[in-house]
Structure 1
Amino acid sequence: MKLATHRSGRALAIAALAATTGLVIAGCSSADPGSSSSDESFTIGIVEQQLANPFFANLQQSAVAAAEEAGLDVMTAESQSAGDSATQVAAIENMIAQGVKGIVLDPANASALVDIVQRARDAGILVVTVNTSLEPADAADASFETDNLAGGALMGEWAKASLGDAEPQVAMLDYDLSDKTAGARHDGFLEGFGLTDDSPEIVGTALTESNVETGQTAMENLLSAHPDINAIYTINEPAAQGAYIAISNAGKEDQVLVTSIDGSCAGVRSVQDGEIGATVMQFPSRMGELAVEAIIDFVETGEKPSGVIDSGTTLITDDPVEGVESEDSAWGLENCWGE
């Protein structure tokens, strides 16, 4: 286990326990964290998903930075793989034992963490989720996340307006629609375009694994069956990048509009290069900052946040259309996340 070098005296004491639990401790104050006074430090916990994913890494980095800027001590932990709730449960158990005042949680499993979150809340700890909420959402005090329905709607509105008078021939490159995020993005795109799953304008659908390889394969199959496709929805930017490879190989770069969502720097560069027509940027750093601010407010005032709080979305395109607010790829590259 790695321990951060900027730790308070109390964080050093916690480190002995953390060595057996995979926790990382950081901080910059030696004040007694048991006090809720605004000029004294306290400890918060940040529990993320696997940090090899740049989205999760950016979210945690922003939360840690916001906490340290406020003079707080921080305990961090990450899941080891997709869906790894066991590591997160163990981390929260240790955070409860160490008396953290609040926990920022990006749940690896929406239902498996409900019981441990309730234990934390019963101990007087504010628990806010980021990126995705628990099931039910009110199992945590609040959630700071992307409104994926609204993000999908931006994609659909732009695609419809960009097609103009052309008859829509739309393909959907999805991920498992039982996934809350995937379902919301899919439904939002259809809503924004003015379609339903049964609309004849939807000429083909395919499931991907949200990566380049399956995006390319899915698009190759769709183009083979439906060569007149002129607009596609993709679950995320890697799937869109794979789809574009298939489109380019088929010589249909000028025929097919590609839409996506995420706002990674790689995705924005694909917009700049003309591979993706438009992508919707989400803001993991804002999620982390808002979550930490909510915990600080709770400790200082006793006021709790509630509900699902939208961390914002922005459409990125170099081909703007009337009636759909957007920013260009230059702006996107200044505000994107990842590499």
Structure 2
Amino acid sequence: MLRKKIAGILGVLLAAGLILTGCSKAKVNESTQAAANTEGQTPEEQNEKAIIGVSLATLQFPFYQDMQRGIQNAAGDDIELAFVDCNGDEQVQMNSIENFIQMGCKAVIMTYQNFDTLKNICTPLNDAGIPIILCDAGPTDFVYQAIGTDNRIGGRTAGKWAAEQYLKDVDRNEALDIIVLIPPSGTSAKARAEGFEEEILKVFPNSNIETFGKSADRQDFMSTMEDALSSHSSLDLVFGYSAQAGMGAYDAIISAKNEHTKVIGFDATDEEKGAIDKAEDSPYVATVMQYPEKMGELAVQTIRDYILTGKELPEEEKYINAGVGLYTYGGKIITAEEIALD
């Protein structure tokens, strides 16, 4: 009976166009929104489907688009997704959470924008007893499960490959000139940068490593890189914490016709791969691979296996590391295990 009432409430809300009240800035994917595909179904058929809320920080970047695809593919026909693109707005995410609670969602899959405010955003869901699966995150004690990339391992993977393989013929006493591009804030960006620097300095202890970045925007990273190229006469290497940072650096290097400076990025987008494979001597030499589609699939699998069945989630599955790899010229993929971090 309760399920039927919820379905009825959803129908009224949809008709009124209020299913995401307060989320006017959100880009709602109509094809995956809860109850959007229920036309022609009986109430009994609709009630067989669990409703899962999905609140992603933004769909501006391919990383989150891939995650969305993984969630959609894994959901299949027996799970309804109430999907919200928060478009970088924390208030939109807060509003989406309140709506998920009103809808009676069985669980919520989400990513965050600022870890400092994440707990406050999650509190209403925890108070309502709705399990949260946090994607693109490290171990987090106030959610049901976290799935993500170990960002420090990702940075270390790039740094060790660069130092021990790509730069293997360079004298280890050389004072390399290196720039790291990250935004002014962000725990993930900081962890990637620290991991990269750690491995570089193990092999090239005399290196000069500087950190720059005004925002997370590609155009800003390009502008920053243009300034850096003007002030660094022999810049050896750039590590971009994301595809936006890496491609911004690449754009500046190509524009300056610089044939010396090389770039390592993070995210392994199709555009990055294209830049790497353009030529063996391309300025873009590698990018760290994450597996956002896999994260989305794993989140839905957890909901199927544990939340919807009532089984207890094993302690060792409270955090799942989706792993990292490194994409290099010719489509060669090197795993973190092959790089053998100590």
Q: Is the shorter-chain TM-score for this pair beyond 0.5, marking a shared fold? A: yes
- Describe the shift of the 1:14–1:110 C-alpha distance in structure 2 as closer, same or farther (beyond 3 A): farther
Matching residue within 300, 304, 313 for 2:309: 300
Secondary structure in 1 aligned to 2:225? Answer: helix
Matching residue within 211, 219, 222 for 1:213: 219
Match of 1:131 in 2: 136
Match of 1:162 in 2: 166
Q: CA deviation at 1:309?
A: 1.9
2:19 matched to 1:18?
yes
Match of 2:74 in 1: 66
Q: CA deviation at 1:20?
A: 3.3
- Runs of 4+ aligned structure 1 residues displaced above 6 Å come to 319-327
Unpaired segments ≥5 residues, structure 2: 1-6
Match of 2:98 in 1: 93
- Describe the shift of the 1:300–1:13 C-alpha distance in structure 2 as closer, same or farther (beyond 3 A): farther
2:235 matched to 1:226?
no
Q: CA deviation at 1:261?
A: 0.6
What amino acid is aligned across from residue 268 of structure 1 in structure 2? K
Q: CA deviation at 1:286?
A: 1.1
Q: Supply the distance in 2 between the matched residues of 1:323 and 1:92 (Cα, whole angstroms).
A: 36
Match of 2:326 in 1: 315
Match of 1:51 in 2: 59
Secondary structure in 1 aligned to 2:283? Answer: coil
What amino acid is aligned across from residue 101 of structure 2 in structure 1? I
Q: What percentage of aligned pairs have identical amino acids?
A: 28
Secondary structure in 2 aligned to 1:279? Answer: strand
What amino acid is aligned across from residue 312 of structure 2 in structure 1? E
Unpaired segments ≥5 residues, structure 1: 1-7, 35-39, 328-339
Match of 1:186 in 2: 193
The structure that is helix-richer by fraction is 2
2:253 matched to 1:247?
yes
Q: Supply the distance in 1 between the matched residues of 2:238 and 2:60 (Cα, whole angstroms).
A: 28
What amino acid is aligned across from residue 138 of structure 1 in structure 2? D
- Describe the shift of the 1:184–1:203 C-alpha distance in structure 2 as closer, same or farther (beyond 3 A): closer
Please tell me whether the aligned partners of residues 180 and 193 of structure 2 are also in contact (alpha carbons under 8 angstroms): no
Q: Supply the distance in 1 between the matched residues of 2:256 and 2:175 (Cα, whole angstroms).
A: 19
What amino acid is aligned across from residue 192 of structure 1 in structure 2? E
What amino acid is aligned across from residue 189 of structure 1 in structure 2? F
What amino acid is aligned across from residue 162 of structure 1 in structure 2? Y
Q: Supply the distance in 2 between the matched residues of 1:64 and 1:323 (Cα, whole angstroms).
A: 27
Please tell me whether the aligned partners of residues 179 and 210 of structure 2 are also in contact (alpha carbons under 8 angstroms): yes
What amino acid is aligned across from residue 21 of structure 2 in structure 1? T
Match of 1:3 in 2: none
Q: Supply the distance in 1 between the matched residues of 2:336 and 2:22 (Cα, whole angstroms).
A: 48
Q: CA deviation at 1:259?
A: 0.8
Deviations 1:7-64 (A, max 9, x none): x888545524516354632456754777xxxxx4211111112323332233223212
- Describe the shift of the 1:10–1:270 C-alpha distance in structure 2 as closer, same or farther (beyond 3 A): farther
Q: CA deviation at 1:264?
A: 0.9
2:122 matched to 1:114?
no
Q: Supply the distance in 2 between the matched residues of 1:146 and 1:322 (Cα, whole angstroms).
A: 16
Question: Which range moves more in the overlay, 152-161 or 168-177?
Answer: 168-177
Match of 2:155 in 1: 152
Q: CA deviation at 1:199?
A: 5.0
- TM-score, normalised via structure 1 length: 0.78
Question: Which range moves more in the overlay, 301-310 or 234-243?
Answer: 301-310
Q: Supply the distance in 1 between the matched residues of 2:318 and 2:328 (Cα, whole angstroms).
A: 31
Q: How many equivalent residue pairs? A: 308
What amino acid is aligned across from residue 310 of structure 1 in structure 2? N
Secondary structure in 1 aligned to 2:303? Answer: helix
Please tell me whether the aligned partners of residues 210 and 235 of structure 1 are also in contact (alpha carbons under 8 angstroms): no
Q: Supply the distance in 2 between the matched residues of 1:241 and 1:20 (Cα, whole angstroms).
A: 37
- Describe the shift of the 1:170–1:141 C-alpha distance in structure 2 as closer, same or farther (beyond 3 A): farther
Q: CA deviation at 1:293?
A: 1.1
Deviations 1:194-236 (A, max 9, x none): 459x953025432243343333333333333332222221122
